[in-house]
Structures are given as structure tokens and as C-alpha cells.
Amino acid sequence: MASRSTLTYSERAARHSHPVAKLFLETAERKQSNVIVSADLTTSAELLKCANDLGPYIAVFKTHVDVVADFNEDTVKGLNELAKKHDFLIFEDRKFIDIGTTVQKQYHGGALRISEFAHIVNASILSGDGIVEALSQVMNAQSFPYKDARALILLAEMTSKGSLATDDYTVQCVELARKQTGTVIGWIANRSLETIPTQSTPSDTEDFLVFTTGVNQSTKGDKLGQQYQTPTMAIERGADFIISGRGIYAAENPIESVQSYQKEGWEAYLKRVKKE
């Protein structure tokens, strides 16, 4: 079987069994964009303006709604409306980490209303398997209003200097994801984890989506330990979606910048799947 990373988004969408993974792959193909803008903005007005301005060029809008000072019901409504208008998906980068029962309350209901707008969220498995089971229970409950429209990705690696999300922790993410394919559709990682040594054997149809943060066209890092790779490097190393924050929203002209990331990310993808 061909390696996952040399198949096109459409080919992968057609054979994927998870409806949310399909949606991500189809959206990338339809919009010819594998860019996720990380909109770390601190007011609802700035967040929604960013989504409206950059929405046409991205596949996914990534939020940290806990940094939005005036986050409220209208923010959720605005995000949902703009996602429809511009055909993008939403990833809330909440990094759940607590015991299962707490995480269930943080995800569904609570102050941040995450389940109401985020197609995917991420979790660390530092607390063990229970966190994945807990989110699976909520997402797969018959009474859950967004059943089959929500999924989880695991925090398998991080981009910051000195990160402890390495080695056996990363391997355990892969092992756990393989046991929970009804809920886990991929991971945050700086490279493809397809061939890392694991105890279990991947199924023939295994296809976890790779989301890579720390992408920047012009800088190598920041003063607080962030480390960057370029869009091309990230895609060559196996990213399916490239995530950039300040490289896009803090640029002098964010629209020109997002277009440039879209072009570079798409060209690198075409080269990887040999369709250029």
C-alpha cells in the first residue's frame, strides 16, 4: 500500500472511515489549502475580523478562546457563521490534560462552550487513557447534539524548546490513537509518526492526520522557546495541515501573508504527492 503521505487529500478522504477526518481532507482539497491560521487574538472583534478576512484562504481556523477577554455567546455564534460562510473548520487548541470527569465538563457546557463550535480539540495523554475515553463518551453519546461532527487529536509532540512530549510519550500517543479510531483522527506532531517503532502493528487503512504547529516563513523562533520550521519543511516531514499564528496574523498585510503560506503549503503538498 502507498504511504499515507503520498496519497492525495481526495484519495484519503474517499477511503477514510471517520466522518470528521473526511471533512478535513475534503476541505483541504476543495479550498486547495492546508493552512491553519492560529488566531491568538484577545478580543472577539479581532478574532472574528481575522476569521472573516482570512477565511477564504484557510482550511481551518485555530482558536484559544480562553485568551479572548470578552468571549461570549456572540463569539460562538460569529465563529459558527463565519465557518459556514467561508467553508472552514474550527480547531480549539485547548490541550485538555485533566482527569476524565473534569475534562468532560470543560469540553461540553462550561464557560467556553467548546463543543458548540470546535470540530476538533486536542488532549495530552499525560493523565493516562481516561482522558481519551472521557472525550469519546461525550462525542459518541446518542444525546450529544454534534455526534459524528466532532473529533479529537492527541498532543504527540510540541514545538517548544525542552518539550517533554518525546520518545515513549509520543509512542504511547500512537498506541492509544490506534485503540480509539472512533474518536481520535490524528495528532499534533512536528513530523510524520507513521513509521516510528511501536508495539502494535498499524492496520492497512490506518490514516491519522498530522497537524504541525510552529510554522513560519521568515523566523526561526521567539524569545520564549518557540521553534519554527517553514511550510515546505513541515509538509516534507509529513504535515497534512500547517499551523501558523504570528507569521500570518501579525504580518504587515495578513491577507498577503496567508496567501503566501497557502501557495507554499499547497505547492509542497503537490510535490509530496507528485501531482505538480
Stretch that binds ligand 5BU, among 21-29, 96-104, 166-174, 211-219 (CB under 6 A): 211-219
40 sits near ligand 5BU (criterion: CB under 6 A): yes
- Binder among 18, 21, 93, 107 for ligand 5BU (CB under 6 A): 93
Identify residues 249-268 at the interface with ligand 5BU (CB under 6 A): none
Opening angle at CA 245, ends 81 and 171, nearest 5: 100
The answer to whether residue 124 forms part of the interface with ligand 5BU (CB under 6 A) is no
Minimum distance between the CB of residue 160 and ligand 5BU, rounded to whole angstroms? 6
Dist. CA 62–CA 185, nearest whole Å: 16
Q: What is the DSSP string of 33-102?
A: --EEEE---SSHHHHHHHHHHHGGG-SEEEE-GGG-TT--HHHHHHHHHHHHHHT-EEEEEEEE-S-HHH
By CB under 6 A, tell whether 237 contacts ligand 5BU. Answer: no
CB of 159 to ligand 5BU, least distance (A): 4
Q: Is 86 in the site for ligand 5BU (CB under 6 A)?
A: no
Closest CA to 117 of 77, 152, 144: 77
Per CB under 6 A, which region of 24-32, 70-78, 172-180, 240-248 contacts ligand 5BU?
240-248
Helix (H) / strand (E) containing 143: none
As measured in angstroms, the least distance from the Cβ of 87 to ligand 5BU is 22
- Counting contacts by CB under 6 A, is residue 238 touching ligand 5BU? no
Q: Which three cell numbers stand for residue 238?
A: 509529513
Task: Single out the residue of 244, 257, 260, 262 in contact with ligand 5BU (rule: CB under 6 A).
Answer: 244
Could you tell me whether strands 120-123 and 89-96 are parallel, antiparallel, or unpaired per DSSP bridges?
parallel
Q: Find, among 137, 98, 97, 130, the residue nearest to 115 by Cα.
A: 137
The DSSP code for 222 is -
Measured distance CA(173)–CA(198) in Å, rounded: 10
User: For ligand 5BU, which is the closer residue by CB, 17 or 218?
Assistant: 218
Per CB under 6 A, 247 contacts ligand 5BU? yes
- The answer to whether 142 and 172 are in contact (CB under 8 A) is no
Pairwise CA distance, residues 79 & 81, whole Å: 6
Considering only 226, 229, 257, 262, the residue that binds ligand 5BU (CB under 6 A) is 226
Q: Which residues bind ligand 5BU (CB under 6 A)?
A: 38, 40, 64, 93, 155, 158-159, 188, 213-214, 216, 226, 243-247
